[in-house]
Chains A and B, each alone.
Chain A
Amino acid sequence: MYHCRNRLFAGVTAGVLAVMPLYAQTPDNMLVVAQNIDDIVTIDPASAYEFSSGEYVANTYDTLVRYDAMDTTVLAPALATDWQIDAENKTVTFTLRDDVTFHSGNPLRGEDVVGSWKRVVSLDKAPAFILTQLGWTPDNIEEMVTAEGNTVTVRYEGDFAPSFVLNVLAARPASVVDMEIVMANEVDGDLGHAWINRNSAGTGPFSLGSYRPADILTLDANPDYYQGGPAMDRVVIQHNPEGATQRLQLEAGDIDIAKNLDPGQVAGLEGIDGVRVETYPQAAVHWVSFNQKTESLTDPAVWEAARYLVDYEGMADGMLKGQMKVHQAFWPDGFPGALTDTPFGFDPEKAKQILADAGVETPINVTMDVISAPTFVEMAQALQASFAQGGINLEIVPGTGAQVITKYRARTHEAMMLYWGPDFMDPHSNAKAFAFNADNSDDKYASTTTWRNAWMPPAELNEKTMAALAEQDADTRLEMYLELQRATQAEAPFVIMFQAIKQVAMRNNVQGFVNGATSDYVFYRLVEKE
C-alpha cells in the first residue's frame, strides 16, 4: 500500500512537472495580440464595417491615397504616386505605382481600381454609401471611373472640396482588390464575395493566413510589399473577450499586446515588469441626445440646461480616467478643423435658472437608452445623478447594441447616450451627422444624429454644412467647420461630452505599433521586437 501511494504521488508530480513549462515569450518574428474580434461580420473590404474588420482591411489592402502608418494624420500617396485635380474640380487623375503586386503575384492594374469600386457600388453593402456620395451608381461607375495604362481618372457629381473627394477615396471601401482572382472565384453572381470572405486579395503588407470567426485571425507577412516587408513574419490575433484574462496572458508573456483592458485592469499593470500601456486618442465622440418627438425635450432651454448638468471633469478624472477626455464639439481633437473650446462646466444652479427663465416646469421625467456595457452604464448612472440636480430625472434603459440602434433608427427613444465615429476622415462626415438634415420626415431615413433625433436644424445650418462641403480653399473650409461646431454647441439638442481614448497594453519589447484615431489606422507593418 505504501509503495502504491508513493508511485501515485510520483506519477502526479511527474504529470504536474510535465505540464509546467508550458509557455515562454512569443517568438521574435511573431506578434501575438489578444483582442475581442467577435464584432467581425465580414472581411470583404466591400462590406467590412466593424472595428476589427477595419483593422484587418487596413493591414491587408491599400487605397490610392491613405493616412499611412508613418503618420496617420497626413494624407499620403499609396497605390498612386501622384494626382491632379482639374480646374472645374470635377475630375481627379491618379498615376499608379508600377511596382505593386497583389498577394497572388498579379500586378496592380488600373482595371483593378475600376473593378474594385464598381464591385463595392454593385454589391451595395453597408459601407457602399461612402463611395456613392460621389454620384456613382452601378450603371454609371464605368463612365465615372476609367483606367488607361497606369492612369485612373475619377469623375464625380456634385460640388465637393478636393480634400473631401480624396478623403472618400482613402476610406475603407475604396480598397483595391485583385479583380482577376476575385472574379475567378465568383459564385452565382456574388462578385467573389463568399471567396474574399475567406481569403485576402490585396496589396497590403500582410495577407490573410487563417480566420475562424470569434476564434482566431492570422496575418502572414507580404515580403514583397512595395513599402518594404514587415518585420513580423506573422501576426496572430487571438479572440479573447475578457480583459482580465488578457491581462493574465500579457503578464505571463503568452501575448504581446492586450487590447481590451478596462481602466481597473490597466491600473493593475502599473509597476509590472516588462509591460507598458500606450494611450491613443480616438476619433469617436460621446454624447447625449434628445429626441424631438418627445414633447418635454423640445424646448431649447432643456438642451442648454442639460449642457450644464454633466460633471465633465469629475467623470473624465474619475470613472473614465484614461478612457475619455472632455470634448464638446462634433469633430474630434487632433484633426484639422476641430473645435477644442470647452465652454460648459457642471453648474446645476445655472441649469435650474435656465429652465426657470424659460418657464420650463420641473421635474422633467425622461427615459435614456444606453448600451448595456460596463463603461456606458456607469456613465449613464453618473448622468442620472447630475441631471437630477437640475430637475431632469433620467430613467436608464439599458439594452444590447442591436436593441439600442433598433430603437434609435425607429426614433422611438426619448434621450439617448451613444457615440459617433466618422466614416472617413473628413469633417463633413461628422458635420453631416450633427448639423444637417435634408428631410425630417419619418419615411426619409438618414443615418445621421439629426434625423434619428427628429431634429431639423435651422436652414442656415443646413446651407453652411453643404457650403463647407463644396469649399475649395482648405483654410476657409476648416474655418467653416469651426463655425458649424460652435453653432451646434449652442443650438442643437445634443450634449457632446467626451472624446474616446484607447489604451493598449503591450510587452516592453514591442515597438512600432501604430494605433491611429480609428480602426482604419491600426497598423502592424512597423512593429518590431527589441
Chain B
Amino acid sequence: MAAGASLELVKVTKMYGHVTAVDTIDLRIPAGSYCCLLGPSGCGKTSTLRMIAGHESVSAGDIIVGAKNVTDLPPAGRGTAMMFQSYALFPHLSVIDNVAFALKMKGVAKAERHAEARKLLELVDMQAYEARLPAQLSGGQQQRVALARALITSPQVLLLDEPLSALDPFLRLRMRAELKRLQRELGLTFIHVTHGQDEAMALSDLVVLMNGGRIEQQGSPREIFNHPRTEFAAKFIGGHNVIALGDTSYAVRVDRILLRKPGQPIDGPQVAGTISKIEYQGTYVLVAIVTDGGREISAQLTDDQFDGTTYSIGEQVIATWNPALADPLTPPRHLAIATSPELVA
C-alpha cells in the first residue's frame, strides 16, 4: 500500500454564487498525519474536504498532493479516496463487490479483484461478511466496509466525511480507536471532518479549527486546548471561560479558576460574583458563578478544593486565576462572512 502523501492547500476559495463558503485557505498537512477539520456546521469544512476529493470544483487556488498539483484532476486521479458520510455503500452489491468496485471499473479480472478485496476485508476484520448485502450489516460493519472500499485504490490521502456521526456513542468510541490504529499502521494521511471537538482531540496530530470559511486556529490538540487564540476557539473547544478584563478578553480553563471568599487576600486578577449553581460530577465539582457584570463563569473544583471550604448557592465569591495560565484573546475579525447564511455543512 502506498505511503501517505503531504497535502497542501494554497489560497483555496470556494464560492457558491455570491456566497463565499471557503475563503482563501492556506493549509499544510504533513505526510502520514491525522488531521481533523473541526468546526460548526456551515464553517466550510465539508466544502474544503470535497474540494480536496475532487467532488467540488475549486473557485480559486491550488490543491497539491505530494508533489502533484491535483486541482483539476478527477477524484480517481488524485491519490485520494473518500469515505462518505453514512458510507454510500452500493445497496445492490455484496460486501466484496462493494470493496472491489474500483478495481472492476479499472477492468481487473474478477478472481484478482476479489482476492485484493479479501485482503482489505481482512484488514478491517470483515472477511466473514463478504457475501452479505449492505442492508444486512450494522452501522459499524458498514463503516468498516466503506473503509475497505476507500482503501482498495491504495490512496495516499484518505478523506473521511463525518465518519463517526452515524454511530451510537459506544460504537463511536470503538471505531475512533480503530481509525487511529489503521492510520498508524498504514502510515496514510487521514483528513477527517467532524464537528465534535472531543473526536478531534482524541484523534488528531493536527487540528484545523474552521469558522466562517476561514481557519480560526490550527495546531496540535494540546496547543489549541491550552492556548486558544480567539474567543470562538476558546468557546468551541470547550472547557474554557472567556473573561473580559478591561479591553482584553482572556481564556481561562475551568479547572484553573480558583474561588476565594470576600476579604481573603488575592494576588492576581479577580472577578466578583455570586454562586448560582453547584453540580457534583463525581470526579469534580462544577460551580457556576454569575459575575457582577452579569456574565457566567464556570469553575471546576477538585473534591479537595471543594471540601476545604464550604460554598453554597447565593454566596458571594471572588474568582481568580494564575495569570501565567490565561491566554489573552485576539478580538474577533470584522467579517462579512461570519454573518453569511449557513449554506453548506
Partners in one complex: no
Interface residues of B (CB under 8 A from A): none
